Amino acid sequence: MLRHMRRLGVACCFAVAAPGTAWAAAPGATIDKADTLLLIVSSALVLFMTLPGLALFYGGLVRAKNFLSVLMHCFGLAALASILWFVAGYSLAFRGDGALLGNLSAVGLSNLDAIRHGLTVPENVFALYQMTFAIITPALIVGAFPERVRFGWLMLFSALWLLIVYVPVAHWLWDGGWLARQGARDFAGGIVVHTTAGLAALVLAIMIGPRKGFPHSMIPPHSPAMTMIGAGMLWVGWFGFNGGSALSADHTSGGAIIATHLAACAAALTWAAAEQIKIGKPTSIGLVTGAVAGLATITPAAGYVSPLGAVIIGIAGSLACFASVLAVKHRWKVDDTLDVFAVHGVGGMLGSLLLAPFASTMLGGTGLDGGRGIGGQFLVQIEAVAVVALWSAAMTLIVARGAALILPMRVDAEQEHDGLDISLHGERAYEFD
């Protein structure tokens, strides 16, 4: 994601400012209005992915008696993550030159530069854009355990998880931290967003346990149409997710958007074909799940690969995620309800590895840094994926257990039977006479 910064040679040399001291803009640096507008529009698009895109995508997949609870999760996490980002998240992720973590020089979004160092946009716009990524990442995780967790526990867990898992990983890869110094690449969040959220989802789904009746009885979604609408919003919003990650309105952002769209198209069609072969008919849920799988898989590589590379990555991501959905639910018997690990986790990790060959000029990509070959870049990507996956899994386990010592994690059997809308929130999404 910081390709533009590394191109300017500043990814690992951010100046350290003491709290209360404003950073001076680099000599001769000016704000580019096109770049600034790109990030402002992209910020709106990425927020749109969570509210209402992800909320409707997930909400349509659960039973009607739990629909409002899913919307509550997404809206509550959007508010919570934004406040945490304002208080200290941004500063710890994107200020300072530490290998493991930033500093507290921008607590409360104070002392922001007129121009973000190494870029051509105001730092407050950059902070806003990054805030929307901090919002959607914990929101992705809630798809692993809808219909059975308490709202209070979710808020406490998510607050701790954001600061302990997401913030450090964002610094490691996007602000010149130790993985970036090793040469690891992540254009828009295959590792920072999808790997962290995917592994957290798998761990939590195992910890919390399955819904009553799983896996022996089918628990159908209450509104596939709503899920398709939400998926369409995610698809459109992903243009800001990946296109904005170029951090400049140029050929890189255009190429990232084209790659994003083509990967989603190829993945959706591939998933539909796989369903035709496997169950004899393509489904609406399968079509949109395939599109999301392609979007997740192309995310880490979107700004580095050719259109042909994006199509191949989309197909590979769709097939891998399709197989993973079957494995997690039917072979592992894990109730990752909305397939967060199988789609986002597997897709993000696979795309991060496929970046190595398809970013090379040999396969039409933009090239690899530092004279590194495909094999060398592949090993660096494996290291980054493995480290982040282990960090997210281990910290998720610790944080979830810690939060459960303060607030109960799972609802009781009666509340689960009645549905979380009425039992936890005293409301119903639908009233029928």
Write down the pLDDT at residue 28.
58
Q: Is 146 helix (H, G, I), strand (E, B) or coil?
A: coil
Contact by Cβ (8 Å): 350, 391: no
Write down the pLDDT at residue 23.
35
Write down the pLDDT at residue 213.
84
Ranges under pLDDT 50 in the chain: 1-26
Q: What are 120-176's pLDDT values in tens digits?
A: 999 999 999 999 999 999 999 999 999 999 999 999 999 999 999 999 999 999 999
Instruction: Say what the pTM is.
Output: 0.92
* Residue 339 token pair: 């397939």
Write down the pLDDT at residue 2.
43
Contact by Cβ (8 Å): 351, 238: no
What proportion of the chain, given as a percentage, has pLDDT over 90? 90
Write down the pLDDT at residue 137.
98
CA–CA separation, 300 and 409 (whole Å):
33
Write down the pLDDT at residue 218.
76
